[in-house]
């Protein structure tokens, strides 16, 4: 596809990195020549210095040939204007980054009036992932499918786990849980498992289950699980705003405390969210954190705008507390070096957004009878989890799964049919109208039929 990316900050750069990997033709636009020089050093794409909200600049970037324009500058209004101008080519789909909470309730109106194909909000997406993690206190990552009815959860197998030494087949028989283990991470190895694979201490296992199945698994497998009732947050930015809103709407009776140095931010949060505790102070001060109960809180989230501060706070919380730990890291180049540090679940808004963009692009490319509803990049981008809607019959439908020639390192993890969740075995069939979860390692899957050899 021919794609124009306007704005090459952290989000734009993360998007460009993913698009180049998938061999799209990319043109990037930014006012900052130094930023574009860095992009050119790392990626094979055309760079144009200029204002992407100017028609002549977009024309120079090849708007008349573009299949997609992604506007992801730091200014919401510039992004929306850029997409509106891009509509002069009606064949060009547009995606706009819109972050301001004031626009949140008007997204549908803005999409219609400005001809936006899709909108992205990194902070809202990050907050959505955080609240999913808080719903399952024992998990280190969580993704949702089928409008939240099924989850892909990851846990670490402890040294005293009853799961150690048994095969996945034995586990399903012993625990009698409606789930499927679809990824095993063992050191540097990533395994798309079979029923004969043995679970070992230290493994990170990812499994697909509905809410009841997940809770049953935690109890039967001896995984520590508790409902989060108290949350301590350091940093009162946009992510925190969306997170508080999500907690209040999705979790029951959670006590929330927020630290921020900025008095105006504290006053704004206190007005918008009566009933929470807002503390105008330095959340990096260990003495204050101890006074406010960091040792006993159920969940601690360092969400400042400074990665180093978030890391130090997370290490301190891990040392003295036992609660759920979720750490926001903005710089993607930090994440690899943090793998050896125990700082809980790491949330990177830019990576979340790049996955959302890829989902939209893959959906635009689909021609064979399915649409991508969800796409998540997992295991340092080495694995993808995709949700497909099977819109018509094809060579994948109406055949028993055991008779399908599925590519190596691809797993059918779940089928959703008539509001029922099916954990597949070889006897089931995929049917028109189904939704299906596919796990893929080192394979690009644009359409459900791409899972076949």
Amino acid 355: pLDDT: 85
Spell out the domains of the chain, with CATH numbers in brackets: 2-120 (3.40.50.720), 138-220 (3.30.70.1450), 227-347 (3.40.50.720), 357-451 (3.30.70.1450)
The per-residue pLDDT for range 400-417, each reduced to its tens digit, is: 999 999 999 999 999 999
- Helices marked H in 285-398: 286-291, 307-320, 332-335, 349-365
Q: What is the pLDDT of residues 13-49, one digit of tens each?
A: 989 988 998 889 999 999 999 999 999 999 999 999 9
C-alpha distances in Å from residue 134, one per residue of 127, 277, 345, 401: 11, 19, 10, 35
Contacts of 420 (CB under 8 A, 6+ apart): none
User: Looking at the DSSP assignment, which residues form a beta bridge with residue 420?
Assistant: 417
**Which of 384, 350, 352, 355 has its CA nearest to residue 14?**
350
Closest C-alpha among 5, 49, 52 to residue 24: 5
Structure tokens at 167: 């095969």
Are 12 and 72 in contact, with CB atoms under 8 Å apart? yes
φ/ψ of residue 94, rounded to 5: -130, 140
Q: Nearest CA to 214 among 297, 125, 142?
A: 142
Question: 115 falls in which pLDDT band (50, 70, 90)?
Answer: confident
Structure token pair of residue 209: 């289950």
The pLDDT value given to residue 60: 96
Could you tell me the pTM of the whole model? 0.86
What's the order of all strands across the beta sheet hosting 93-97? 46-49, 25-30, 2-6, 68-71, 93-97, 118-120
Helix runs in 251-300, H state only: 263-272, 286-291
> How many Å is the maximal CA-CA distance in the chain?
66
Sign of CA dihedral 227, 155, 208, 347: positive
What is the rounded radius of gyration, in angstroms, for the C-alpha atoms of the chain?
23
Report the alpha-carbon distance of residue 341 to residue 335 in Å, rounded. 10
Query: What is the DSSP-derived secondary structure letter of residue 376?
Result: E
CA angle 36, 39, 43 (to 5 degrees): 145
Per-residue pLDDT tens over the stretch 257-313:
999 999 999 999 999 999 999 999 988 888 989 998 999 999 999 999 999 999 999
Q: Which of 363, 431, 428, 446 is nearest to 393 (CA)?
A: 431
Report the pLDDT value the prediction gives residue 46, as an integer from 0 to 100: 94
Q: What is the pLDDT of residues 43-93, one digit of tens each?
A: 999 999 999 999 999 999 999 999 999 999 999 999 999 999 999 899 999
Contact between residue 122 and residue 352 where contact means Cβ atoms under 8 Å apart: yes
Residue 54 corresponds to which tokens in the numbers above?
């100017």
- In tens, the pLDDT along 116-149 reads 989 999 999 999 999 999 998 889 899 999 988 9
**Residues forming beta bridges with residue 300, ordered by sequence position:** 232, 325
Helix axes 107-114, 76-86, angle to 10 degrees: 30
Strands 46-49 and 25-30: what pairing? parallel
């Amino acid at each position: 596809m021919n794609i124009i990316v306007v704005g090459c900050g952290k989000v734009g750069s993360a998007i460009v990195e993913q698009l180049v990997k998938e061999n799209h033709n990319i043109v990037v636009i930014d006012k900052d020549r130094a930023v574009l020089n860095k992009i050119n050093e790392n990626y094979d794409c055309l760079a144009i210095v200029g204002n992407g909200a100017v028609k002549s600049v977009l024309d120079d970037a090849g708007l008349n040939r573009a299949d997609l324009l992604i506007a992801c500058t730091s200014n919401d209004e510039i992004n929306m204007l850029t997409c509106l101008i891009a509509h002069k080519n009606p064949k060009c789909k547009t995606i706009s980054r819109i972050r301001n909470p004031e626009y949140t309730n008007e997204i549908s109106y803005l999409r219609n009036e400005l001809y936006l194909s899709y909108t992205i909000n990194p902070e809202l997406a990050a907050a959505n992932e955080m609240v999913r993690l808080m719903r399952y206190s024992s998990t280190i990552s969580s993704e949702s499918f089928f409008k939240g009815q099924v989850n892909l959860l990851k846990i670490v197998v402890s040294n005293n786990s009853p799961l150690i030494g048994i095969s996945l087949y034995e586990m399903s028989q012993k625990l009698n849980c409606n789930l499927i283990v679809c990824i095993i991470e063992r050191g540097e190895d990533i395994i798309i498992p079979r029923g004969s694979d043995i679970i070992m201490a230290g493994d990170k296992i990812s499994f697909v289950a509905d809410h009841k199945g997940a809770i049953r698994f935690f109890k039967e497998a001896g995984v520590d699980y508790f409902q989060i009732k108290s949350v301590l947050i350091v940093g009162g930015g946009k992510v925190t705003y969306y997170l508080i809103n999500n907690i209040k709407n999705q979790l029951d009776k959670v006590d929330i405390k927020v630290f921020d140095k900025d008095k105006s931010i504290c006053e704004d949060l206190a007005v918008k969210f009566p009933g929470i505790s807002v503390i105008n102070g330095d959340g990096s001060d260990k003495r204050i954190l101890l006074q406010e109960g960091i040792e006993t809180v159920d969940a601690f989230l360092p969400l400042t705008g400074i990665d180093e501060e978030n890391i130090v706070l997370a290490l301190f919380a891990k040392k003295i507390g036992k609660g759920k730990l979720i750490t926001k890291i903005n710089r993607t180049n930090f994440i690899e070096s943090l793998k050896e540090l125990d700082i809980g679940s790491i949330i990177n808004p830019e990576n979340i957004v790049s996955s959302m963009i890829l989902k939209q692009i893959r959906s635009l490319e689909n021609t064979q009878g399915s649409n991508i509803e969800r796409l998540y990049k997992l295991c340092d981008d080495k694995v993808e989890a995709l949700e497909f809607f099977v819109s018509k019959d094809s060579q994948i439908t109406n055949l028993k799964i055991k008779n399908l020639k599925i590519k190596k390192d691809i797993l059918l993890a779940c089928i959703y049919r008539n509001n029922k969740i099916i954990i597949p075995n070889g006897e089931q069939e995929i049917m028109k109208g189904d939704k299906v979860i596919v796990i893929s390692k080192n394979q690009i899957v644009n359409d459900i039929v791409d899972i076949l050899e």
